[in-house]
Amino acid sequence: MAEDDLLTRAREGDKDAVHEVLEKYTPLVKSIASHFFLIGGTGEDLMQEGLVGLYSAIGSYKKENHASFTTYAYICIRNAIRDEVKKSNGLKQTPLNNSVPILEISDGLLGDPEDEIIMTENRQEFHHKISKILSPYEFQVIVMYMDGMGTREICDALPKDRSPKSVDNAIARAKSKIAKLYQDESEE
C-alpha cells in the first residue's frame, strides 16, 4: 500500500493503519530520542513523547506543504521530545539548554557501555563548549546540521521563517568559530 493511502486511512481513524504507521516510524523515534537526555527521566519517557509527536504528525500532515511525511514526522517527533526536555528541566523560556541532541560520532555502533558513557560525556562537553562561543541561532543550526539535517530541513524546523542562505551562513560562522576554538586550545 502506498504511504499516502496509508496516511489517509490513519487520519480517517483506521486503527490498523495508525498502528502500521507507528510501527514503521518507531525506529525513527528511537533514533531521535537517543540524542536527548532527560534529567530525572528515562529513554522510555523520551520514546513516549516521540510517539506522541509521531501521532500528532499523522493527524496534521498535509502533502501540499511539499515536505515528505518522513521529514515532517522527524520535525514533529524532535519538537515533542525537545519540548518535554525543556519542560522537565524547568527552562521553558530558554531556547537552548543542556538538553540538546548529542553528536552522532559513531552512528550508534558502540562497543561496551563504558565507551558509550565516555562518548556521551565528550558530546555533552563539546556542546557545552560551543554553546559559549556561538549565538543561540548558530548553536541551534549547527546542532541540527550535526544531526544530519539538510539546509531545507533546518529552515522548516526553525520557529521563524529563515532562508536557506541564512542557515548556510550560520553553519559557516559556527564552523569557523569552532575551528578557531580548537586551534586556540591546541596552541595553549
pLDDT per residue as tens digits for the range 140-151: 888 888 777 888
Over residues 120-140, mean pLDDT:
79
What's the pLDDT band for 186 if we cut at 50, 70, 90?
Answer: low
The per-residue pLDDT for range 36-55, each reduced to its tens digit, is 876 666 778 888 899 999 98
In whole numbers, what is the pLDDT of the chain averaged over residues? 77
- In SS3 terms, the chain reads as CCHHHHHHHHHCCCHHHHHHHHHHHHHHHHHHHCCCCCCCCCHHHHHHHHHHHHHHHHHHCCHHHCCCHHHHHHHHHHHHHHHHHHHHCCCCCCCCCCCCCCCCCCCCCCCCHHHHHHHHHHHHHHHHHHHHHCCHHHHHHHHHHHCCCCHHHHHHHCCCCCCHHHHHHHHHHHHHHHHHHHHHHHHC
